Amino acid sequence: MENIIEKRCSFLKSVFNFNELPNNNLKEIAFWGRSNTGKSSLLNSIIKDNIAKTSKTPGRTQCLNFFEVPNKIRLVDLPGYGYSKVSKSKIKNWNRLIIEYISKRENLTSIFLLIDSRHGLKSIDLEAINILESFGNHFFVVLTKIDKINKTQLNKCSKTTKNFLSTVTSAEDEVLVTSSKKKLGIKELKKKIINIIN
Ligand code: GDP
């Protein structure tokens, strides 16, 4: 079943304005996180269509990129936050579209919030979590790049993150741990997506 995502998911469209969203007949799962957290790499591990390329195409980095398994689900790549090289006005623009999408989209079922396991939750991630909680968005935290840290560090980061999430009502208590490089936790992540489809 996990294979349907790899086999049948492909790029649908890039959205720059809220009124350009595809129809809301399918559940959507969004991927969010700080720039450089490994979002494109992780999406690339889930989807065969070259999502990293799509998401990094100039002009497409600041919009919502939609990928679809026809009749099943859409995966939505949200612009990363905390990238200092972007002008302030553009940041405002991203935020408005992201905030509109997060707060108004009826078929947005869950969000995977990616956190670099080397750094853990930073203040900007806490702001993002605040936003999700304020709109009541159900979300999972996914620790990325776990191949870059040792077991002790991973346990510590997982524990701290879980402790924090236990105070956040709209967050799933479980923390997913992944490495796109070593293909760790990818199967588990796909299982979560399949559970959401069903
Ligand atoms: P994005 O900006 O969040 O889309 O991040 P990218 O997917 O482009 O990754 C940012 C950098 O981290 C790139 O140099 C990737 O090769 C690297 N990277 C991403 N995932 C992993 C991982 O699981 N392990 C390691 N070691 N590096 C990773």
Convert the pLDDT of each residue in 82-121 to its tens digit.
865 555 555 554 578 999 999 999 999 999 999 999 999 9
Whether the CB of 148 sits within 6 Å of ligand 1: yes
pLDDT of amino acid 108: 98
Whether the CB of 35 sits within 6 Å of ligand 1: yes
pTM of the model: 0.93
pLDDT of amino acid 96: 86
Whether the CB of 60 sits within 6 Å of ligand 1: no
pLDDT tens string 165-198: 999 999 999 999 999 999 999 999 999 999 999 8
For atom 20 of ligand 1, the residue with the nearest CA is 38
pLDDT of amino acid 5: 86
pLDDT of amino acid 166: 96
| Sheet with 139-144, side-by-side order of all strands | 10-15, 64-69, 73-77, 28-33, 108-116, 139-144, 171-177
> Which atom of ligand 1 lies nearest, measured to the CA of 144?
23
pLDDT of amino acid 104: 97
**What's the gap in Å between 49 CA and the centre of ligand 1?**
17
Whether the CB of 54 sits within 6 Å of ligand 1: no
Whether the CB of 107 sits within 6 Å of ligand 1: no
* Separation CA 53–CA 33 (nearest Å): 18
> Which atom of ligand 1 lies nearest, measured to the CA of 179?
23
Whether the CB of 80 sits within 6 Å of ligand 1: yes
Whether the CB of 185 sits within 6 Å of ligand 1: no
The torsion region of residue 44 among left (phi > 0), alpha (psi -120 to 50) and beta comes to alpha
Do 96 and 113 meet the contact criterion of CB atoms below 8 Å apart?
A: no
DSSP conformation class of 188: H
